[in-house]
Amino acid sequence: MIKKIAEIASNCKRIVVLTGAGISAESGVPTFRGKDGVWANFKPEELASVAGFMENTEIVWEWYNWRRELMEKVKPNKGHIAITNLEKLSPNFSLITQNVDGLHTIAETQNILELHGNISRNKCSVCHLIVDEKLVIDPSNIPTCKKCGGKIRPDIVWFGEMLDEQLISQAMVDSEQAEIFFCIGTSAVVHPAASLPSIAKQRGAVLVEINTEETVLTSQADYFVQGKSGEILPEIIQLVQEKKSI
């Protein structure tokens, strides 16, 4: 199956990859769902919503500081690097990620749409002005926006919030134009990101899913490869590279 996927990918001009938390699991970043996931220990509505931030601002910031510290220590894994290599081999490539850890950027993939924001950035909770990326937040003394006085929050899309319009429109267009669409390490339950693979498939893309477990998307996938993205992706991309150099 891996050979077949590589053959198709090597003949495609428009490649789109969608990633979720699973791509970073092998780097040591916990996923959200499942028994060891972040949401097994925390309630999303308490930590990742506007209402949660208003009610428990200090706790929310303590939690994000903890996640920031964790993410500063982790490095891209072989899966992230394989995606960068695939981009180099593709005439037209787009990476859409739901992850906020910035590992795709560190791995030097160029064309990235970060649909859910980035944990290293901050913004105003009222006027949404982006503030200094390196700001260190003291949860007991949260800085306020210079423009409107609103409390500073992480630049992450929370539950109940809309995605950046330009980013999601671009992600839709890219998905519609994809000839092959890789859906990697996502449970595919958070919309609108989770709709992108179906959009691509409806428009004729070959849908490839790579995940350690079956998901709600698996029945739609043309190819489902069960296993770790850090092991499977390098195998596929190596074969694409070999085919391209023939």
Provide the residue type at 7 as one letter. Answer: E
Q: Per rule CB under 6 A, is residue 76 in the interface with ligand OAD?
A: no
Tokens at residue 30, please? 């916990």
Stretch that binds ligand OAD, among 8-16, 87-95, 134-142, 228-236 (CB under 6 A): 228-236
DSSP secondary structure code for residue 126 in this structure: T
**Near ligand OAD by CB under 6 A: residue from 16, 17, 20, 93:** 20
Smallest gap from residue 107 Cβ to Zn ion (A): 33
Q: What angle, 0 to 180 degrees and rounded to 10, lies between the N-to-C axes of helices 229-244 and 78-89?
A: 20
* Options 148, 173, 189, 216; binder of Zn ion; rule CB under 5 A: 148
Told to check if 157 binds ligand OAD by CB under 6 A, we report yes
Tokens of residue 84, six digits: 């960068």
Q: How many residues bind ligand OAD (CB under 6 A)?
A: 26
Write the DSSP symbol of residue 195. G
**Active-site residue identified among 104, 116, 128, 191:** 116
Binding status of residue 182 toward ligand OAD by CB under 6 A: no
User: Which of the stretches 2-10, 18-26, 104-112, 141-149 binds ligand OAD when contact is defined by CB under 6 A?
Assistant: 18-26
CB contact set of 142 (below 8 Å; sequence gap of 6+): 57, 58, 61, 151, 152
d(CA 197, CA 32): 20
Cβ atoms of residues 84 and 109 within 8 Å: yes
Is residue 128 annotated as part of the catalytic site, yes or no? no
Give which of ligand OAD, Zn ion, none residue 127 binds (C-beta under 5 to 8 Å, depending on kind).
Zn ion
∠69-71-73 over CA atoms, to 5°?
A: 80
Using CB under 5 A as the binding rule, the residues of this chain from 21 to 50 that contact Zn ion are: none
Contact residues for Zn ion, defined by CB under 5 A: 124, 126-127, 129, 145, 147-148, 150
Catalytic residues: 116
